[in-house]
Chain A
Amino acid sequence: MNQATFRAAVALGAALLSGALIGAAPAPDSAHFPPASISVLSNGVIVAAQVSNDSPIAGAQVFVPAGLMQQTALTAGIAAVTAATILRTPVEGGRSLTDTATAAGGAVAYMVDPEATRFQVECQTSALPRLLADLARAMAAPDPAQFAAARSEVSAAAADDETNPALVAYAMVRQVRYQGSGFAFPQGGRPTSLAHLTVADMQKFAATYQYGSGTIVALTGALSPQDIDAAGKAFASLPARSAPPPTPVSAEKRQHEIVAHRNVQAPWLAIGFNAPSQFSKDFPVMLVIQALLGRGGDVHALSFGSGGSAGAADYVGAYYQYEARPGSFLIFLNGGSGDIDAALRQVEQGIVRLRTDPLPDELVTRARKLALGDYYLSVTSLSDAAWLLGRSASSPDGVGFENALAARISAVSAADIQRVARQYLADETVAVVLPVTAGR
């Protein structure tokens, strides 16, 4: 899940978020994603395409097999700095990749995921092969002269993140639960690690993009077979070798409460749990749990079985990070309107009820519908569709994942929910962000 999506999710206060997900046989009342094709180049690059001829534009998401997990404590932030350098690298007539795309009315951007970096391109279809070739060239040889500006850009974004209590709380949970991996550090690294990064670090990280097997090119929009072929050719020169898997991370079992002080108006709190990752059989069940816990602002989300009392009054929403292995599930509380300790107790009591109390059928039915709705509604743009297609292409189901996930969500039972809740919703980490003047 990219940071921008995370921001939106937290801002919505919600489980609305969702994103890409997995599949089996079609559910009777399900919608359908457009058919998709998939091919594998001789060097191992996967090219997936989904044609939609609504408009003469197209989108691409290029997944390369190096993300936050591949960073070390000394190089935290290098994934973002490397990607930012690539976007600034001159590609056509001295113009950067970003400026080249922008001048044509298109756009290029990057997202750093736990195990991948994604480059996103959107433009007129006729320009797509050219811009993807530009991207491949910039990936192969990022311009060292752009390193300092890229680092400044990442540093500024990281400083902004430090002012957002939800992102601070999320980073604190990651620091505990992913200890020992590159995912334990904030998205943009830390000021000290960023300051010590060098051009050589950037070039070394960029070299970890150079694997045919592990690279996925996902294309959506108005595409002819020739367009798809040309887009794939841009990455045909990647070496035919497989990216090494990231270092496994053990699921954190110890409970923690960690506290930080920031210049915020009110206390914020994140409760982090382990969660199944996106290709786990328990993934659709966790999506239903996420829906069950309520969309943002639904203060009664956790109140079932409580005799009618309200759920946590300060409940902001839930965020499910399923691209990391293991995944994590976070619940956010904003203490702006009351006693955050009481709100935490309410959430914990609600989680206990979820694990132990009988779940009414209508509650489960409604949660399934919400989860299915959130899934479908997460895919409305070319960019969304390319992202889901790329994730699907890397799944054990292949591109069939898109429709199969819907069927799996529809088949989730009350027993599934309680089994998964018991397995994962325990041993939480609590991160508290307090105003600088407050104690706890």
Chain B
Amino acid sequence: MLIPRGIVAALVFSGALSLALPALAVAPVAAPTLAAGESILSDGLTVAVRRATLSPTAALEVWIISPSDGYGEPAPGIARLAALSIIATKVDGQSLRDMVRDDGGQLMVSVFPSSTEISVLAPANAADQLADALVARVLHPAIDAAGFRDGKLRLAEQQAVAASEPDVLLRDGIFAQLFSNGPFHASTYGGPDTLRSLNMSDAATYATQAYVPSNEIVVVVGGGLDEDALNARIANAAPPAALGGSLPASSLAKPSGTTYNAGFADTGGVALGWIGPSVSDERTSTAMDFISDYLTRPDYGLVAKAVADADPQADFNGQFITLRTAGVFYVTVTGGKRSADAMAGVVRAAMKPLLDGPLPPQEFSRALEAFRVHTLRDTQTPQELADNYGWYFAQGAPAYAPSVTDIALNGDYYGQAAALTAQAVYEAAKTYLGATAVTATVAPRPQAPSTTSMLPGVQVHEGGAR
């Protein structure tokens, strides 16, 4: 579904899962249907270039399907360390970070359990040169000693920030319970061991395995683009085909019914999580997106409003995360004055109308229209559109991306949305949210919070976490 930016999004995942539950059997792997405007080069690199007209900016992104904890013995944090080292390594005296900054752009690195995103938000007047720079540095990755040192330093900073964020810890806790091993089980940040034990050779070896054309998509979305010229530039810069590592599997765990203690954070909180359908079941995945919208959208969703009514001090987050083999629906409540048990009760009670039966026709019709509009509003900027292309590429379902549409709402996603019924939504809710949830809690750290917590709406850019 939608990919929220910011640190709370750092643990949104994609990837291959080996599933133990028969109801969630993995669909056979087939070549994905490409989205309109996408192409695959002879080396396996996927390219998507789309002109958008609203903004004089361009989002330039490379997404790499890769495990955040490495290919062999689990090494949580290795993907993040490699990406941070690559953007800091200087070639001909300049790093990618330097080049982006000097041209007035912004560079961001996002690491998910089974994919890495390196993106540039560029003023449109600098889009060509920054696209060249991004493609050159990410499709042909290099890591030197100084870049690696810088990467380690920034990873340490990110680990420190993440460790204070209740949303991050809770989401880690939910995924650690839903998956018993593999990249979905581990934190994308790693821990002190990552910093102590991983060396430059580890990061370089990882990059060799992960950063191969068949694992990658280059996405460019923005204003004033010459689509043909950009496609040609990317094709000219593409590396030769190479054999990459295989994405390790993650196994689904059986929910234990006990509450997982996710540690201490700046504030306390509670999270609930459920396994959902695979992205290959587009109908049910779309129904889960509708459910997520109806329950969790800020200032709109039933659960979001119930939490605000129950405790105005509390922060609420929730969403359905569309994933290749099994999605995840989760909610978090943090920072409030009421107990974890009380807020979990509020969440469950507010979900009940969707579990009791199909919504009344008039309400369903209204909510479906609102869902469509929300999805359009959430995919309006170049960055939101590009993220959407990248995310669904990483899930093996590029043509199902909500951003793959037009003014008439053609495309797979809005087709599925138009076909939704109240009964289908009810069935999805009953099947997935009627199952046993996993629960995680965090407790407020005894000492004083860091000064960064005084800054509302903090958005950490390149070097920060997402």
Interface of A with B (CB < 8 Å)? 4, 7-8, 10-13, 27, 29-34, 52-57, 102-107, 122-124, 163-166, 220-222, 264-266, 334, 336, 366, 369-377, 379-382, 384-385
Work out how many contacts link A and B, with CB atoms closer than 8 A: 153
B366–A103 touching, CB < 8 Å: yes
Main secondary structure, interface of B, reads loop
Within the assembled complex, what's the spacing in Å between the Cα atoms of A371 and B56? Answer: 14
Listed residue (A56, A106, A220, A264) with the most chain B CB atoms within 10 angstroms of its CB: A56
B456–A372 touching, CB < 8 Å: no
Cβ of B54 < 8 Å from any Cβ of A? yes
B377–A265 touching, CB < 8 Å: no
Q: How far is the CB of B315 from chain A (nearest CB, A)?
A: 13
Q: How far is the CB of B410 from chain A (nearest CB, A)?
A: 11
Within the assembled complex, what's the spacing in Å between the Cα atoms of A375 and B104? Answer: 9
Can you spell out 15 A-B residue pairs with CB atoms less than 8 angstroms apart? A31-B123, A52-B53, A54-B53, A55-B407, A56-B407, A102-B300, A105-B374, A124-B372, A124-B373, A163-B454, A166-B455, A222-B407, A372-B125, A374-B104, A385-B54
B123–A377 touching, CB < 8 Å: yes
Considering the complex of A and B, which 5 residue pairs feature the smallest CB-CB distances, nearest first? A373-B104, A105-B373, A31-B124, A105-B370, A31-B56
Within the assembled complex, what's the spacing in Å between the Cα atoms of A65 and B57? Answer: 31
Within the assembled complex, what's the spacing in Å between the Cα atoms of A7 and B458? Answer: 9
Number of chain B residues whose Cβ lies closer than 8 Å to a Cβ of chain A: 51
Which residues of the other chain, A, contact B57 by a CB distance below 8 angstroms?
31, 376-377, 379-380
Within the assembled complex, what's the spacing in Å between the Cα atoms of A354 and B342? Answer: 57
A373–B458 touching, CB < 8 Å: no
Cβ of B392 < 8 Å from any Cβ of A? no
Cβ of B286 < 8 Å from any Cβ of A? no
1/0 per position for B376-397, CB-CB distance to A under 8 A?
A: 1101111100000000000000
Cβ of B350 < 8 Å from any Cβ of A? no
Which residues of the other chain, B, contact A27 by a CB distance below 8 angstroms?
125
Which residues of the other chain, A, contact B454 by a CB distance below 8 angstroms?
163-166, 264-265
Within the assembled complex, what's the spacing in Å between the Cα atoms of A166 and B456? Answer: 10
B56, B101, B376, B382: the one within 8 Å of A57 (CB): B376
Within the assembled complex, what's the spacing in Å between the Cα atoms of A163 and B407? Answer: 44
Which residues of the other chain, A, contact B451 by a CB distance below 8 angstroms?
265-266, 334, 336
Which residues of the other chain, B, contact A55 by a CB distance below 8 angstroms?
376, 379-380, 405, 407
B104, B379, B457: the one within 8 Å of A376 (CB): B104
B55–A379 touching, CB < 8 Å: yes
Q: How far is the CB of B310 from chain A (nearest CB, A)?
A: 16
Which residues of the other chain, A, contact B300 by a CB distance below 8 angstroms?
102
1/0 per position for B347-389, CB-CB distance to A under 8 A?
A: 0000000000000000000100111111011011111000000
Which residues of the other chain, B, contact A374 by a CB distance below 8 angstroms?
104
Within the assembled complex, what's the spacing in Å between the Cα atoms of A55 and B55? Answer: 13
Which residues of the other chain, B, contact A102 by a CB distance below 8 angstroms?
299-300, 370
Within the assembled complex, what's the spacing in Å between the Cα atoms of A342 and B331? Answer: 45
1/0 per position for B442-466, CB-CB distance to A under 8 A?
A: 0000001111001111110100000
Which residues of the other chain, A, contact B213 by a CB distance below 8 angstroms?
none
Which residues of the other chain, A, contact B383 by a CB distance below 8 angstroms?
380
Given A11-B459, A31-B124, A373-B123, A53–B56 Cβ distance below 8 Å?
no
A372–B104 touching, CB < 8 Å: yes
Which residues of the other chain, B, contact A381 by a CB distance below 8 angstroms?
54-55, 380-381
Within the assembled complex, what's the spacing in Å between the Cα atoms of A164 and B454? Answer: 6
Q: A27-B125, A32-B224, A56-B376 are in contact. List 4 more A-B contacts (CB 8 A).
A: A12-B459, A55-B379, A380-B382, A382-B54
Which residues of the other chain, A, contact B180 by a CB distance below 8 angstroms?
none
Cβ of B121 < 8 Å from any Cβ of A? yes
B123, B223, B459: the one within 8 Å of A8 (CB): B459
Q: How far is the CB of B311 from chain A (nearest CB, A)?
A: 14
Cβ of B105 < 8 Å from any Cβ of A? yes
Closest to A383 in B: B380
Closest to A8 in B: B457
Within the assembled complex, what's the spacing in Å between the Cα atoms of A221 and B457? Answer: 26
Cβ of B103 < 8 Å from any Cβ of A? yes
Listed residue (B300, B449, B451) with the most chain A CB atoms within 10 angstroms of its CB: B451
Given A7-B457, A54-B54, A54-B380, A265–B370 Cβ distance below 8 Å?
no
Within the assembled complex, what's the spacing in Å between the Cα atoms of A264 and B379? Answer: 37
B54–A265 touching, CB < 8 Å: no
Which residues of the other chain, B, contact A12 by a CB distance below 8 angstroms?
458-459, 461
A105, A165, A266, A366: the one within 8 Å of B371 (CB): A105
Which residues of the other chain, B, contact A52 by a CB distance below 8 angstroms?
52-54
Q: How far is the CB of B381 from chain A (nearest CB, A)?
A: 4
Closest to B408 in A: A56
Listed residue (A54, A124, A165, A222) with the most chain B CB atoms within 10 angstroms of its CB: A54
A103–B121 touching, CB < 8 Å: no
